[in-house]
Amino acid sequence: MKSLADLEKIREEARRMTELREEKEQTKVIIGMGTCGIAAGARETMKAILEEINKRNLTGVTLTPTGCLGLCEQEPIVEVDIPGQPRIIYGKVTPEKARQIVAKHIVNNNIIGEWVIGRK
C-alpha cells in the first residue's frame, strides 16, 4: 500500500464487486457466526441452509457468515436480504426453521412473520 489513492482504488473495486453482486439480483442469506451464535447452534443452522440450497439447486443465493449482531438472546440469527425488499432478520433459527425459511421465504417469498425479530 503506497498511498491513499491506492486504498481508494481498492475500495472502489471492492464496492463495485459488492454492487455487481447486488446487480445480479443475488439473494443474500447472512448468518451470525460469532461464538455466541455457534454456541447456540449456528453451525447446524448453517448446514441446514446449505443443504436446502443445494437440494433445491437454488442459484443466485449466497450464504455469508458475519460476526455477532449482539442480540445473543435470539441466536442463531439469520438475515434474508432479497434485492428490492427490506432485509428480514429471523431469531432463534433452528435447523428445522432454517429449512422452512429457505422453502417459504427465499423460494416462495413468504416471510414467516412469527419468527421475524427485525426489518432493516
Residue choice 23, 73, 83, 96 for contact with another protein (CB under 8 A): 73
Give 58-118 as a DSSP string.
Answer: --SEEEEEE---S-GGG-S-EEEE-TTS--EEE-S--HHHHHHIIIIIIIT----GGGEEE
Residue choice 46, 48, 74, 81 for contact with another protein (CB under 8 A): 74
- Does 95 sit near another protein (CB under 8 A)? no
Query: What 3-state class would DSSP assign to 31?
Result: strand
- Does 66 sit near another protein (CB under 8 A)? yes
Residue choice 26, 44, 50, 112 for contact with another protein (CB under 8 A): 112
Q: Is the peptide bond before 83 cis (omega within 30 degrees of 0)?
A: no
Query: CA–CA separation, 68 vs 49, rounded Å?
Result: 18
- Does 84 sit near another protein (CB under 8 A)? no
Residue choice 29, 40, 46, 93 for contact with another protein (CB under 8 A): 40
Residue choice 48, 78, 81, 91 for contact with another protein (CB under 8 A): 91
- Does 68 sit near another protein (CB under 8 A)? yes
Q: Residue 82 to residues 5, 13, 55, 120: CA-CA distances in angstroms?
A: 33, 23, 20, 12
Smallest gap, in angstroms, from Cβ of residue 67 to another protein? 2
Positions 42 through 61 that interact with another protein (CB under 8 A)? 55-58
